[in-house]
Amino acid sequence: MKRYPRQLSAGENNIVIALNQLEVAKIYEGDTRSDIGSEAEKLQFANSINGLVAKFIRIDFDEEKQWEMLVMKRLFPMDFRSMEFERRELIFNVFEDELAQLHKAGFAHRDICRPSIMAGESYDNIFLTASGLRLIDVGISTLQRQVGGPIFERFVEQELKEISEFKEFFLNR
Ligand SMILES: Nc1ncnc2c1ncn2[C@@H]1O[C@H](COP(=O)(O)OP(=O)(O)O)[C@@H](O)[C@H]1O
Ligand SMILES: [Mg+2]
């Protein structure tokens, strides 16, 4: 398997590399189907509402490598089991509130739990950090203004189901 220098992980679509201790970059190389501009816009939208989604920093181009980079704040997740149950409960409640805020503002993440037929662990887009749960990967996230009310409502409904399943997993892990 091909690996890039400083690669963190290869997700479903893109490679993510560490730039330094503070920043990571999602790489868009050649003729990618996924659109860096759209992903950046969705990140910035969510960032303007609250701190739940990883912070957008900038879009950059690596002249030498000839690839586009979506630069974000680097997160260092902890294992769920390293945190006391009581604290996890508090943290989950904040997570639920922040996600509800995003829904209300017209942002649905849509990749909280991958269907089991897809590669990757079920909850690999949710990071536990010392200051709370954070979401990464807005690749398939949707803004209400792009799809309209009825479709958006269905996405939110599905997301709420996934969140209640995640709660079981997170608290009992
Ligand atoms: N902000 C970040 N901080 C640390 N690691 C990250 C960050 N964003 C992504 N990663 C790492 O890169 C992987 C793939 O990123 P992701 O945005 O989920 O892309 P994909 O659409 O390919 O799943 C993640 O599972 C994680 O290991
Ligand atoms: Mg992912």
* Residue pLDDT, tens place only, 119-146: 667 799 999 999 999 999 999 999 999 9
Task: Among the bound ligands, name the one nearest to the CA of residue 19.
Answer: 1
The two beta strands, 7-10 and 126-129, are: unpaired
Residues above pLDDT 90, as percent of the chain: 82
Q: Please give all residues whose CB falls under 5 A of ion ligand 2, grouped by chain where several chains appear.
A: 11, 125, 137
Ligand 1 neighbours, Cβ below 6 Å, are 8-9, 11-14, 16, 24, 26, 54, 72-75, 124-125, 136-137, 139
* Residue pLDDT, tens place only, 48-92: 999 999 999 999 999 999 999 999 999 999 999 999 999 999 999
Distance between CA atoms of residues 76 and 5, nearest Å: 19
User: Would you list the domain boundaries of the chain?
Assistant: 80-172
- Angle CA 55–126–73, to nearest 5: 20
User: With the CA atoms of 117, 1, 140 and 83 taken in that order, what torsion angle do they form, in degrees rounded to the nearest 10?
Assistant: 80
- Residue 146 tokens read as 């792009």
Check whether 118 has a pLDDT greater than 90. Answer: no
What pTM was estimated for this model as a whole?
0.94
Check whether 30 has a pLDDT greater than 90. Answer: no
The answer as to CATH 1.10.510.10 being correct for domain 80-172 is yes
Q: Is 55 helix (H, G, I), strand (E, B) or coil?
A: coil
